[in-house]
Each structure stands twice: as C-alpha cells, then as structure tokens.
Chain A
Amino acid sequence: MDYPIWDVAMGGGVLMAWVAVTHVIVSHFAIGGGLIIVVTETLAVKRSDPELRELARRSSLVLILVSTVFGAISGVGIWVVAGLISPGAIAALIHNYVWGWAIEWVFFVLEIVAALVYYTTWDKISKGAHLMVGWLYFIGAYFSLVVINGIISFMLTPGGWLNSHAFWDGFFNPTYWPSVVLRTGICILMAVAFMLWSAFKAEADRRSEVVRYLGWWFVGGVVLSYAGYRWWEAALPDTVKALFLGEAPTLASLAATRSFTLWSLTLGLGVTVLALLLAPRLARGLTAVVLMVGAFGFFGGYERLREGTRKPFLIHSHIFSNGLLVSQIDQINNEGLAAHSGWVATGDPAPEAFGRRIFAAQCSSCHTLDGYQSIREVLPTVSDMELVAADDPPGSGAVHYRTQCSACHGEIGYEEMAEMLPSLDEIREDPEFIRELNLGMITMTMIELKEMGAELTAFDRGTTFDMRQLARPYMPPFVGTDEEAEALAVYLASLDSAVAGHAAGGGE
C-alpha cells in the first residue's frame, strides 16, 4: 500500500486474469503435450508407425510456437502484472519463496533448451537421441510445475507455515499433493484438446485409430483431474470449504462455479466417449472445439474457485491482495496510512483529494471506478434514492432496493425503508441533503470495515482465519485513522456528484 499506484481503467485484476488464464492454458498444454508427444514418438519408434510419428512431429510445432514463445512471455507477464498491481504482495511472496522460483527456473531452462532442440532435430539425429531430448523436455516441464505448484497452492492453504514461517511447511501445504494430481490431469486435457487438430490430419485409413488413441489419453486426464479435484476439495480447511460447499454456501457465486466446473468435465468426458472412442470417424473440428470448451471450462472453473476462495488474501490469513499484512493492521490504525505511505501523504491535503489517494492505495487493487468491481456502482447515490422512492412502475423500487441497497441494509426490508425515505419530490428539491445522508452511510461502512480489522487481529495468527465470522468476508479491513476513513468517505461520496456533472473526482 506504500507503492505508487498504476491506474488501470479496466482493473488490474482483469488484466491479471487475462494474462494468467492464457498463461496457465498454454503452460499446462506445454507440459501435457510434452508427455503425450514423447510417449507417442516412443510408440512410433517401437512399432515403426509413421502415423504416430507424424502426430508427434506435427504437434511439436505447435508446442514450440506456444510453449517457448507465448508460454515463456506470458509467464514473465504474470510477474510483470503482479509487480504493477500488487507490488507489496508479490514482494512478500518472492522474499519467502525466491529459492523455489530459482529452482523452477533451472527446470525452465532445461525445458526451453530441450524444446528448441527437439523441434529442430527431426530428421537430423538418431531416434534414440531425439527421444532422449523429448523425455528431458517433459522432465524439465513437469518438474517446473511440481515446484511452482508448491507456491501457488501455498497461497490458498499456507497450513503450518502460518505458525512456523518455514519454507517447506508452506511448500508441502495441505493442498500440495491434490493439486499436483489435479494439474497433471489438466495438463493431459489441455494437450489432447490441442493435439486433436494434428490428429485430424492423419491419413484417412489411420485417422480413427489416432483419434481414438488421443481419446484414451483424455479419459485418463479426466480420471486424474476428477480424483485430484475431489481430493483438493477434501484437503481444504473447513472454513474455506464452507464458502462454496454444503447446503448453505457463503458465496453462492462460487458454489455455482463449482457446478460449472464439474459439468464442464462431464461434458468433456461425454464428448470423448461418444466422438473419440465410440465413433472416432465422426470426430471433426467441432468435436475438438467442444472438447476444448469442456477442458477450458473445467480448468477455468477450478482456477476461479482457487482464486475466489482465497479472496481477499494473496497469502491466506497473512497478507491481503492490496499488500496489507495482517500484522500491520494495528500499527497503521494507530499511526495512519499517511505515515506509512509517502504516496498517500504527498499532495493536496483537502479531504476529497486525500481520500482519492487513500482509495488508490487501499482499494484500487480490486476496485475500479467504473469498470470491473466498479466502486461507483456499489455506492449509494441520489439516483438510487429516487428510484426506490419513486417505485415507478410499481415493484421496481423493491427490485432496485434489493440489488443496490440490501447488501448494507439487509436487516431492513423494502417496505420499512420506503416509509423512512423522503418523498421523490423532497429528494429532487434537496439532493444535497441526500448526498449528506449518503456520506454518513459511507462513513459508517468505513468504520465497520475498520472494526473488521480489530476482529482480524484477534484471530489466532497460526491458523487459517474463518472469514465467515466477518461482516464482509471477501474484503480487507480499512486501515488508517478516523480522519483518513472520513477523507475516504468524502472522496467516495463525491463520486456521485461527479456523475451528476459536478467537479469530477480524480483517479479516473
């Protein structure tokens, strides 16, 4: 929170999602592809099968183009974006796990060199030497996953690390092994989804056989993925499970994501059994597309669950995604955010401008003004009041109240609120009064968010926090002095007048 802020209109989280999603798809394909291609070539050599050899050869071009180019660059891209949007958080991760990343880099070097050699030496070196390169490629690629998985899974389930802060306690965390199995399955799914396109180019008399061959790989990938996924769920702490599992999950959207995830895998399995195993002659481009949708859906769903259940932390129960350490909460509340960050302290001292800088430091890693997780959309506005009070057409006021207001006023029903509200004419006559009212509501929310910090610091730091106990389980607390909370409230309240055509708040 003490770094300068990179203001991204679309939202840093969205940018990160784009870079990360494309990277994980490609990188998992690169690993699974490495396995299937080299096994296929081994079979081709043993059986003197030219069609399998061609499948391996054609697929290796895609492998080289996406793995060594796009995979490598987008992998660096994740660091670049993380450093831009969550510098404090990524610094914490790197200082704990630099040797993990350094080890992964060693395997990455082996992977990339082997990939380049593998692709460029078809028809030029002996079969044995070429197979050796292929297997080394797979070993390099797979072990880079085995290492990086320790860091990724640590972020959600740091386990014993919270107590000991010991490298290996975090690395071999509760979801480490389930994730290894799950990601191994995903690698195979990704690879088959891509390699089918190469299989379709096989000679007509062998095409069905080659397609069926990949079909069996996909089934194996589904089995591993499903087993790994269920193991992963079982290994999650109960407090995390409760967010999306059970009869009354805390986060309904994540529960829906879980259903989507498993149905996507079912779709992939169904298409594989029908179109790749039972009737491979029917397999066409559309089949590959549907299979890709299923595989990507499952993978994307799982990643969404992993990220969603980790919110609002970067490392669960240790550091929030805006870079705030749990251990810093009391200190910043006492000293103020301005004492902690020169970027907040420096500039116009007027409350609105000061609040804007506090918003940038504390909130902008998740919220944009008008894009993803728009802060303006969740703030109370004069127009909200008008719509609720007008109730025109009848019933629309209740709907608007439910969507815009009930998140904070859950204990008050629409009818009750309508009675308390001024009339539509009164609101239009004196909108400033409503803005004052809204400012009060926002200030109250800030205080509530600040009090959440006290609850967080009361948790046992050596265990995974039960975020369900908090009023807003997926938000970091507000940290800072009461004056800073008020300044932030003034800035947020001013966003309504900015829409109304008054002096626009900065930060846009």
Chain B
Amino acid sequence: MNTELIPALDAAGLPGPPWLFHFLLVFTFFLHLIFMNLTLGGTLMAFVAHLRGGRRLTDPNTVFAKRLMGVNTYAISLAITTGVAPLLFVQVLYQQYFYSGTILLGWIWFNMLVLLMIGYYAAYLHKKFRGPWLGVSAVTFFGIAMTHVAVHLIHVQPGKWAQFDTSALSVLGDPTYWPRLLHFVLAAITFAALVAAWWAVRRARAGDDIELNTTIAKTAWRWSLWSTVLIMVDGFILLGVLPKPVLLGVMRGGLAILGPLTISILFGVGLLMMLARVSNPVEKPGLVSGTLAALTLTIAVMTVTRHQVRVLYLEPATSQFQASVVPQWGNFILFAVLLVLGLATVFWMVRRVLTSPAEGDEAA
C-alpha cells in the first residue's frame, strides 16, 4: 500500500500498551452506543409517533413520543458525555488516520457540532413549545449519524484519501456507506424501542394506566421487531459489500474474528424469534427483560466486530508503522481507580435519590 499521504506517528509514543487502548476504545464506545441509540432511535421514533398522534395529547402515539423525548433529556447529555472517551482513545490509537479523515471532511465534520447544538436545544424547545422542533431534532441527529459514518469510512481508507481530498462527498458513493448508516440507525431504533417497551411493560404490570401502557408496549415492540428484521437483511448486505481484502480478513480471521461475528448473527436470529413470538409484551415481562438484555449483549459483541473490521481495513497501513510504547502505568492505575470510584459515586447518588422521595415542605 502507498503510505505516502499517511502522516508520521507521534514521536511521544503510546502511553500504554496498544491492547489497553483497543480495549478502552471498544468499551467506552459501547457505553456511548447505549445512549446514542436512545438519542437517535428515540428521536426518530418520537418524530414519527408525534406525527401520528397529531394534536391529540392523550393519543398513545403522543404519549409514546413524549416518553421517548423525556428519556432524551438524559440520553442526549449522556451520549455526549460518554462520547468523549472513545473520541479520546481513537486519537491515541489512530491519530494519523482519524485526524486526516476529519480534515478531509473539514466543515462537514465541524458542522457536526452545530447540528448537535441545534438538535439538543430543539429537543428542549419541543418539550416547551412542541411545533416543528422534534422534526428539527430528528433531522439533525440523523445528519450527525451520516457525518460519523462518513468520517469512519474516510479514515479507514487512506488509499482513497487523494480521491476524498478532491471530493469528500464521494464517500457517499462508497458501497458500504448506506448499508453501514442503515445498520446503525436501525440498531438505534431497535434499542430505543425495546427500552420503551420494557418501561411500558413495567408500568402496566404495576397497574399504572394499563390500557395506555399496553398499547405503547405493543407499538414499541413492533418497532423493535421490524427494525430487527431489516437489520438482519442489511447486515448481510453490509458484509457482502465490504472490500474484498477486508471480507477475506473476516473470513480468515479465525475464532477471534469469526467468533464475535457468529455470536452477533446468532443473537440477531434469537432476538427475532423472541420478538416474533410475542404479540402482547405485557403478558411476558420476563421475556421482555431477557430480550433487552440480549440486545444489549448483541450491541456489545457487534462493537467488537466493528472494531475488528476497522483493524482489517487499516491493516495494510498500520502494518508499516511501529508505534513505540512508553507506558504510564501509575497514571493508568489512578485513572482506573478513579473510574471505579466515580461510577460507584454515580450509582450511589442515583440510588440515594431514588430512595429519598419527598413532597411539600419536606422536599428540596
């Protein structure tokens, strides 16, 4: 491979072994995906439900939309917060490729921030004023997804940088662009829908507005079912259109690569079966929780596969560079300890809040 356009590795070297950063990148990206799925999938579904509900405030569709956007009050913030860590680790591992990819996109990459700002504030404005704001949010979040897929495909293909330098938008013609985008969007919808179904089932089982929550649970369940069907189809298309060397790399990757991929496919089929055999999820709360847990696990495994595909894409380039390693173990341990303490504090805080309800003069 011609590496002429690939910048040099940073002279400082990696402040830890590569495997550690690969792990942290994948792990934190998985965390990010959880909230990103809620944000993107939730907003897209909420927009459709909002349109279907019209001006009827008690319509189950309207309540469904309101509930999804209620979750987004937290999910958007947490998607950004959890997105910071993989953004950091990708820069450590793939600085040469990632920065080049973002520079070739230039203003499109920068405008992702503008879209995020608009989408976020539009979500708040929707809560306050309704009107067109939910549509604005949905469009901007979809635009951000498009940008991320674009930068990913550009950064993993340094052999095409000269072409992208002439026209960054030519990435839209990459055979994997649309299947990859669709894969992420559908996965986001499936996850957000299942979370909504799970929540509605819990409320219905607790006797809270049973009819409404049953309707919402069924609607959300159907969203999950059909988006999972489409993901399966799209997933195989995506696999088929991968560049030949990458596809061969997957096929010849042995247990390390084929294992996670096979597990993901099997989980996908299993999810379909679980989703298809239930028409009223309120009657099967255990299965609903199990399906959500299985989907979360599938996302975790698919995050590994996605990363492995990136490694295969970049292998011809990365194999020509040897990064030096200058570990800072003490600092890593400090980070790990603080991470554990920080997350424990967050859980403790949330737990304390949930167990301290108060009203009237007793309340804050």
Contacts and interface: CB of A to CB of B under 8 A. Distances in A.
A124 B357 contact: yes
A76 B84 contact: yes
A342 B80 CA distance: 34
A73 B113 contact: yes
Interface string A97-116: 01111110111111011101
A127 B104 CA distance: 52
Contacts of A345: 4
A507 interface: no
A182 to B, nearest CB: 25
A83 B99 contact: yes
Contacts of B159: none
B5 A41 contact: no
Interface string A1-38: 01111110000000100000000000000000000000
Given A87-B95, A112-B78, A125 B356 contact: yes
A384 to B, nearest CB: 33
B167 interface: no
Contact of B110 (A81, A100, A117, A132): A81
B358 to A, nearest CB: 4
B255 interface: no
B104 A103 contact: no
A302 interface: no
A3 B7 contact: yes
A453 to B, nearest CB: 17
B15 interface: yes
Given A81-B110, A121-B353, A124-B363, A99 B7 contact: no
B170 interface: no
B120 interface: yes
Interface stretch (B42-50, B229-237, B282-290, B329-337): B329-337
A234 B13 CA distance: 34
Which of A76, A81, A125, A340 is the most central at the interface, judged by chain B CB atoms within 10 Å of its CB?
A125
Interface stretch (B59-67, B212-220, B343-351): B343-351
B5 A346 contact: yes
A341 interface: yes
A343 B162 CA distance: 9
A253 B275 CA distance: 68
Interface string B134-167: 0000000000000000000000000001100100
Contacts of B85: 102, 105
A108 B358 CA distance: 28
A69 B121 contact: yes
Contact of B7 (A87, A109, A133): A87
A326 to B, nearest CB: 11
Given A87-B95, A102-B335, A136-B345, A123 B364 contact: yes
A498 interface: no
Given A126-B364, A132-B349, A345-B4, A112 B81 contact: yes
B295 interface: no
A92 interface: yes
B329 to A, nearest CB: 10
Interface stretch (B86-94, B240-248, B302-310): B86-94
A3 B349 CA distance: 45
B176 to A, nearest CB: 22
A79 interface: yes
A279 interface: no
Contacts of A107: 338, 342
B112 interface: yes
A79 B89 CA distance: 12
Contacts of B357: 124-126
A76 B77 contact: no
A4 B74 contact: no
Contacts of A65: 124
Contacts of B116: 73
A132 B352 contact: yes
B73 to A, nearest CB: 7
A5 B6 contact: no
A467 interface: no
Given A68-B77, A91-B95, A110-B345, A125 B11 contact: no
B7 A83 contact: no
Contact of A342 (B4, B89, B109): B4
A102 B358 CA distance: 36
A4 B345 CA distance: 43
A45 B91 CA distance: 46
A80 B117 contact: no
A114 B349 contact: yes
Interface in B1-51: 3-8, 10-16, 24
B174 to A, nearest CB: 18
A127 B362 contact: yes
A473 interface: no
Contacts of B121: 69
B87 A103 contact: no
Contacts of B274: none
B100 A126 contact: no
A101 to B, nearest CB: 5
B182 interface: no
Given A70-B117, A125-B356, A3 B100 contact: yes
A116 B350 CA distance: 11
Contacts of B12: 92, 95-96, 165
Which of A83, A90, A96, A100 is the most central at the interface, judged by chain B CB atoms within 10 Å of its CB?
A83
A340 B8 CA distance: 8
Given A4-B100, A83-B99, A94-B88, A103 B353 contact: no
20 contacts: A70-B117, A76-B80, A83-B98, A83-B102, A83-B103, A87-B99, A95-B12, A95-B95, A98-B16, A100-B331, A102-B24, A102-B339, A105-B84, A113-B350, A117-B349, A125-B358, A127-B363, A167-B328, A327-B11, A346-B4
Given A72-B77, A125-B358, 5 more contacts: A81-B110, A98-B89, A99-B332, A131-B364, A132-B349
What are the nearest 9 A-B pairs in CB distance?
Answer: A130-B364, A342-B4, A87-B99, A99-B331, A129-B356, A95-B12, A342-B5, A2-B7, A106-B342
Interface of B: 3-8, 10-16, 24, 73-74, 77-78, 80-85, 87-89, 91-92, 95, 98-100, 102-104, 106, 109-110, 112-113, 116-117, 120-121, 124, 161-162, 165, 328, 331-332, 334-335, 338-339, 342-343, 345-346, 349-350, 352-353, 356-359, 362-364
